[in-house]
């Protein structure tokens, strides 16, 4: 079976869930090899990749990967791709994953598909475009397919692999070390999961009424172990930080459960959440277009409904 490279998404030595999803997908396409770029590839991390079927783990253990933006990762991945003669490369569809894929496409002369929600055995990819209104199947017609896959597109399923470590020298060119990361600022998010990876997202919009109003949204999110999202109306008003915006010009999320509170459902908001598996809506306007997407909706005041829901969840979990 041909080798499929999977770029590992990791932070602080921990493998992110999207990687397990990509490995699960890759197993249906060939023999998955994980690619770890950067420091921190511990035995435990490798073992977790093995749990999801990685037969090999290529490790480029170099601080250059994190000290400089994108270009070193693209260079290392392009070289691995050439040396391994992989049949395809899967990357997470994050801002950085897409940029890496883009640069590798140029280096390797390969076609690129971004934001896939599925990949078939013949490497045709399914994408959901135009705010989820259209489903497209496409394929790479030149070179080794580079496909970025949206987090939460597949459920990760364990299946043991050898996870044999293969160390690869970094040997990054000076040209690729031109944009230096000089600082990292972590905005506190109170231990909530990453928005784009979270299995559950609880969002608030203009109906939340102000920054304080997000308290009820956060309380609900925390009762479910969810990430918090916001509509643009809420981020533009400064009620919630911009990096939590969901939609056309914010994050695209595809969680198992999306709870929209006080959000009307403008097409630009839908563009970022329409592929969520289950959608629950709380809005006081029965005509709000967001109800068209609802699997379950309540017409009511979110300041009554949401706290009650949070309380009920606590009760039922107890």
Partner 1 sequence: MKIAVCVKQVPDTWAEKKLQAGDSTLDREAAEGVLNELDEYAVEEALRIGEAHGGEVVVVSMGPERAAETVRKALSMGADAGIHLVDDALHGSDAVATSAALATVLEGRSFDLIIFGSESTDARMSVVPAMVAERLVLPQVTFAQKVEIDGSTVRIERQMEYGFDTVEASLPAVVSVVEKINEPRYPSFKGIMAAKKKPVEILSVADIGLDPATVGLGAAWSVVDDFAARPPKAAGMVVADEGEGGSRIADYLVDQKFI
Residue 45 CB, shortest distance to partner 1, in Å, is: 19
- 54 vs 221, beta carbon nearer partner 1: 221
Q: How far is CA 62 from CA 79, 167, 252, in A?
A: 15, 11, 31
Q: Considering only residues 10, 115, 153, 231, which one is a binding residue for partner 1 as defined by CB under 8 A? A: 115
Residue 28 CB, shortest distance to partner 1, in Å, is: 19
Regarding 317 and contact with partner 1 (CB under 8 A), the answer is yes
41 binds, among partner 1, ligand FAD, none (CB under 5 to 8 A by kind): none
Q: How far is CA 146 from CA 87, 221, 270, in A?
A: 10, 35, 27
Q: How far apart are CA 313 and CA 318, in angstroms?
A: 8
Show the tokens assigned to 232. 């643009």
Q: How far apart are CA 86 and CA 63, in angstroms?
A: 25
316 binds, among ligand FAD, partner 1, none (CB under 5 to 8 A by kind): partner 1
- 20 vs 244, beta carbon nearer ligand FAD: 244
Q: What angle do CA 248, 253, 258 make, to 5 degrees?
A: 110
Show the tokens assigned to 213. 């109003």
Closest CA to 28 of 193, 192, 186, 149: 149
**Length, in residues, of the chain:** 318
Residues contributing to the site for ligand FAD (CB under 6 A): 205-207, 231-234, 245-250, 262-264, 266, 268-269, 272, 282-285, 288, 301-303
- 133 vs 159, beta carbon nearer partner 1: 133
- 31 vs 248, beta carbon nearer partner 1: 248
Closest CA to 277 of 154, 192, 194: 154
- 83 vs 295, beta carbon nearer ligand FAD: 295
Q: Considering only residues 113, 208, 217, 234, which one is a binding residue for partner 1 as defined by CB under 8 A? A: 113
Cβ proximity of 223 and 311 under 8 Å: no
Q: Which of residues 168-207 bind partner 1 (CB under 8 A)?
A: 175, 178-187, 189, 194-196, 200
User: Of 20-28, 45-53, 92-100, 203-211, which segment contacts partner 1 by CB under 8 A?
Assistant: 92-100
Pairing of strands 125-129, 112-119: antiparallel
- 168 vs 298, beta carbon nearer partner 1: 298
Cβ proximity of 179 and 68 under 8 Å: yes
Q: How many CB atoms lie within 10 A of CB 278?
A: 13
Regarding 287 and contact with partner 1 (CB under 8 A), the answer is no
247 binds, among ligand FAD, partner 1, none (CB under 5 to 8 A by kind): ligand FAD
Q: Count the residues of the shown chain that bind partner 1, applying the rule CB under 8 A.
A: 92
């Amino acid at each position: 079976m041909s080798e499929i490279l999977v770029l590992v998404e990791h932070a602080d030595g921990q493998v992110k869930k999207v990687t397990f999803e990509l490995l699960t997908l890759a197993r249906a396409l060939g023999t998955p090899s994980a690619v770890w770029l950067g420091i921190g590839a511990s035995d435990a991390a490798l073992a977790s990749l093995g749990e999801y079927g990685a037969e090999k783990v290529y490790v480029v253990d170099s601080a250059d990967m994190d000290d400089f933006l994108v270009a070193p990762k693209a260079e290392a991945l392009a070289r691995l791709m050439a040396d391994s003669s992989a049949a395809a490369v899967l990357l997470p569809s994050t801002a950085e994953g897409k940029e890496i894929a883009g640069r590798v496409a140029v280096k390797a002369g390969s076609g690129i598909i971004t934001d896939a929600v599925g990949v078939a055995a013949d490497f045709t990819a399914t994408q959901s475009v135009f705010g989820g209104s259209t489903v497209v199947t496409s394929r790479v017609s030149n070179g080794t397919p580079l496909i970025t896959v949206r987090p939460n597109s597949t459920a990760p399923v364990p299946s043991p692999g050898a996870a044999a470590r293969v160390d690869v020298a970094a040997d990054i060119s000076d040209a690729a070390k031109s944009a230096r990361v000089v600082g990292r600022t972590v905005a506190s998010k109170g231990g909530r999961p990453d928005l784009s990876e979270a299995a559950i997202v609880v969002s608030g919009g203009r109906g939340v009424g102000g920054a304080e109003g997000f308290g009820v949204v956060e309380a609900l999110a925390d009762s479910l172990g969810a990430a918090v999202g916001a509509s643009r109306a809420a981020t533009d008003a400064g009620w919630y930080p911009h990096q939590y915006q969901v939609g056309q010009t914010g994050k695209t999320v595809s969680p198992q459960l999306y709870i929209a509170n006080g959000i009307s459902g403008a097409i630009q908001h839908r563009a970022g959440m329409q592929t969520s598996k289950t959608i629950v809506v709380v809005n006081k306007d029965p005509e709000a277009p967001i109800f068209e997407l609802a699997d379950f909706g309540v017409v009511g005041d979110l300041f009554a409904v949401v706290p009650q829901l949070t309380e009920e969840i606590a009760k039922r979990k107890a």
